[in-house]
Amino acid sequence: MRAEARRQQILDAATAAFAGLGYQRSSIAVVCERAGIARGTLYQYFRDKQDLFRAVLEQYSARIRALVAPPTSDELATADVATLIRDRLRAIFAEIAAEREVYRILFNEARAADAETRDLVDLVHQRLIDQLQQTFSALRDLGEAQIDDARLAAEFAIGGVLQIAASHILNDDSPVDADALADATARFAVRLILPPLSTGGTP
């Protein structure tokens, strides 16, 4: 097996262990058993359990970042602001709901982990904000939205979306209607963060 495939095999086993047992109850032995490998093989790729956890966190945060990527020029030319926001929210909530147990562990235990992991969480958060700031800036520059401070709006939006995901998906075992949750969140976001441009005249 190639090195990249072996590393992913170990990551998949670690993800299953963390999601099924939680971080504290998972161990290198459990991951090795799930992956069907010896400890020595695992240590060729990861230093310890914390290193494994950070790798899983990076992998899943990359999936979320891909869903928050700034819109393409074609999207900006053809889609309205509400549609752009709603579609991205639907994708984010659907992703988190589909991998609820994994994201629950990542959300709830990453902050309580070691300093290096907490630093990674902060970096992930800042990257999400950076990407959304680019989107808000692009919409503002095109005259599609009235945003005084794109950075502040991005910080507010990311914080709100993560809190909604935690409250309605991660901390609740009920079935999730990602579309309905995204629609409600998008309507609120459009009114609060992206008010329509003034058309002049007296209200």
Q: For the chain, which residues make up each domain, given as ranges?
A: 1-46, 57-192
The total of other beta-carbon atoms located within 10 Å of residue 39's CB is: 11
Predicted pLDDT at 116: 82
Q: At what angle do helices 49-67 and 81-98 cross, to 10 degrees?
A: 150
How high is the pLDDT of residue 194? 63
- Residue pair 102/15 in contact by the 8 Å Cβ criterion: yes
CATH 3.90.550.10 matches 1-46: no
Q: Can you tell me the distance from the alpha carbon of 67 to that of 41, in angstroms, rounded to the nearest whole number? A: 33
Looking up tokens 């976001």 gives: 189
User: Which tokens is 63 given?
Assistant: 């999936």
Question: Would you call 200 helix, strand, or coil by DSSP?
Answer: coil
pLDDT in tens, the chain (203 residues): 799 999 999 999 999 999 999 888 899 999 999 999 999 999 999 999 999 999 999 999 999 999 998 888 888 888 788 888 899 999 999 999 999 999 998 888 776 777 888 888 889 999 999 999 998 898 888 887 788 899 999 999 999 999 999 999 998 888 989 999 999 999 888 887 665 554 444 44
Q: What is the largest CA-CA distance in the chain?
A: 74
Helix (H) or strand (E) holding 84: helix 81-98
| CATH superfamily entry for domain 57-192 | Tetracycline Repressor, domain 2 (1.10.357.10)
Residues 134-169 pLDDT 10s: 988 988 888 877 888 999 999 999 999 999 999 999
Confirm if 124 and 57 have CB atoms less than 8 A apart.
Answer: yes
Predicted pLDDT of residue 199: 46
Total-model pTM:
0.86
Contact 38, 32 (CB under 8 A): yes
Contact 15, 56 (CB under 8 A): yes
The answer to whether the 1-46 and 57-192 domains have the same CATH topology is: no
Q: How far apart are CA 158 and CA 88, in angstroms?
A: 12
CB 83 within 8 A of CB 135: no
